[in-house]
A and B are shown apart, each in its own frame.
Chain A
Amino acid sequence: METKLIDYTKFSLKPAEEIHEIVDRVENIFILSCAKCYQLFEREAGEDYFTLLGLLGEDTKKIAGHAQIDFLCNNILSEKAISSLDLSGCSAVGVISCGLGIQFVAHLLEGKPVYAMADSVPQSANSTSGIGYHGISLEQEKCAACGQCYLNATGGICPMIDCAKGLLNGPCGGARDGKCEVDPSLDCAWVKIYERIGNRGEQLTLGDTRIHDYSKPALQLKNDLSTLNNKLRNEGFYGGLHPLEEKQQTEHLAIEKFPEPEEVVIFLSQHTGKKASPMVQPGDYVRVGQKIAGADGFISASIHSSVSGKVVSIEERIHPVLQRRELAVVIENDRENSLDSHCKPNSDFKKLSVKSLLDIVRESGIVGLGGAMFPTQVKLAPPKKVDTLLVNGCECEPFLNGDNRIMIERPQDIIIGIGLLKKILGVNRTIIGVENNKADAITSFKGVLKNSAVELLRLNTKYPQGAEKMLIKKILGREVPSGGLPFDVGVIVSNVGTILAVYDAVVQGIPLYKRVITVSGEDMSRPGNYLVKIGTPLKEIIQYCFDGDIEDIFTKYDLKMGGPMMGIIQTSLDSSVIKGTSGLTLLKRSPVQLSEDNDCIKCGRCVDVCPMELHPHYYAFYGKKAELGRADDYNVMDCIECRSCEYICSAKLPLMSFIKREKEYARSTVKN
Chain B
Amino acid sequence: MLVVQLKTEDELRLKIADNKVFIIECLGCQDVYFPNKEVDEYIRSLEKQVIARVRLDYLCNRDYASAYIKAYDKQIQKAQIVLVISCGVGMQVISSLLDHKIVYTCCDTLYLNGFQGLSAQPFDCYQCGECYLNYTGGVCPLTNCPKELINGPCGGARDGKCEVNPDADCAWAVIYERLYKLNKLDIVKKILKPRDHSRIISQSLSRERIKR
Given contacts A98-B125, A122-B128, contact A222 B114 (CB under 8 A): no
Asked if B77 is an interface residue, CB under 8 A from chain A, the answer is no
CB closest residue in chain A, given B210: A5
Counting CB contacts under 8 A, is B154 at the interface? no
A-B residue pairs, 6 tightest by C-beta: A106-B138, A156-B95, A135-B60, A143-B88, A99-B125, A135-B89
Between B71, B92, B114, B143, the greatest number of chain A beta carbons within 10 A of the residue's beta carbon is seen for B92
Q: How distant is the Cα of A344 from the Cα of B80 in the complex, in angstroms?
A: 67
Q: Are B2 and A121 in contact (CB under 8 A)?
A: no
Task: Write the residues of chain A forming the contact surface with B, with a CB cutoff of 8 angstroms.
Answer: 1-8, 10, 14, 18, 22, 37-38, 40, 71, 73-76, 98-100, 102-107, 110-116, 118-127, 130-131, 133-139, 141-149, 151-152, 155-158, 164, 182-183, 185-186, 196, 199-202, 217, 219-223, 225-227, 229-230, 233-234, 241-242, 244, 590-592, 599, 602-605, 607-609, 648, 650, 652
Please indicate the chain B residues that have their CB under 8 angstroms from the CB of A226 in the complex: 112-114, 120-122, 124
* CB-contact partner of B197 in A40, A127, A141, A143, under 8 A: A127
Q: How far is the CA of A665 from the CA of B167 in the complex (A)?
A: 54
Is B201's CB under 8 angstroms from A199's CB? no
Interface residues on B, range: 35 or more
Beta-carbon nearest neighbor of B96 in chain A:
A156
| In contact, A225 and B3 (Cβ under 8 angstroms) | yes
Tally of A-B Cβ pairs under 8 angstroms: 337
Instruction: Give the Cβ gap from B184 to chain A, nearest Cβ, in Å.
Output: 7
Determine whether B79 belongs to the interface, using a CB cutoff of 8 Å to chain A.
no
A601 to chain B, nearest CB (A): 9
Q: Is B115 a contact of A38 with CB atoms below 8 Å?
A: yes
- For residue B127, which residues in chain A have a CB less than 8 angstroms away from its CB? 10, 98-99, 120-124, 131
Is B110 in contact with A608, judged by CB distance below 8 angstroms?
A: no
Contact A125 B205 (CB under 8 A): yes
A-B contact pairs, 23 of them (CB 8 A): A2-B212, A3-B62, A37-B115, A116-B134, A119-B129, A122-B127, A123-B127, A124-B127, A134-B60, A136-B60, A138-B210, A141-B96, A143-B109, A156-B105, A158-B88, A186-B205, A220-B168, A226-B122, A229-B112, A233-B119, A241-B31, A605-B116, A652-B58
* Cross-chain contact A608 with B123 (CB below 8 angstroms): no
Is the CB–CB distance between A103 and B123 below 8 Å?
yes
Cα A591 to Cα B76 with chains together (Å): 15
Which residue from chain A places its CB closest to the CB of B102 in the assembled complex?
A200
Q: How far apart sit A289 and B96, CA to CA, in the bound complex (Å)?
A: 63
Q: Does B194 contact A (CB under 8 A)?
A: no
CB-defined contacts of B209 to chain A, threshold 8 Å: 4-7
Let me know if A143 and B87 touch, CB within 8 A: yes
Q: Which residues of A contact B67 (CB under 8 A)?
A: 591-592
Known: A7-B210, A183-B205. 10 other contacts (CB 8 A): A5-B209, A18-B134, A71-B117, A73-B114, A75-B122, A127-B201, A144-B109, A145-B88, A149-B91, A226-B120
Given known A149-B109, A591-B70, contact A121–B121 (CB-CB < 8 A) = no
Report the Cα distance A607→B205, complex, angstroms. 30
Select one of A3, A182, A225, A604 contacting B201, CB under 8 A. Answer: A182
Return the contact of B204 from the options A103, A118, A119, A122 (Cβ within 8 A).
A122
Question: Within residues 137 to 152 of chain B, which ones have a CB less than 8 A from any CB in chain A?
Answer: 137-140, 143, 146
A223 touching B211 by the CB < 8 A rule?
Answer: no
A6-B209, A120-B127, A143-B89 given; A136·B61 CB < 8 A: yes
Residues on A with beta carbons closer than 8 Å to the beta carbon of B102: 200, 202
How long is the Cα–Cα vector from A475 to B7 in the complex, in angstroms?
39
B180 to chain A, nearest CB (A): 11
In the complex, what distance in Å separates the CA atom of A414 from the CA atom of B207?
A: 62
Counting CB contacts under 8 A, is B23 at the interface? Answer: no
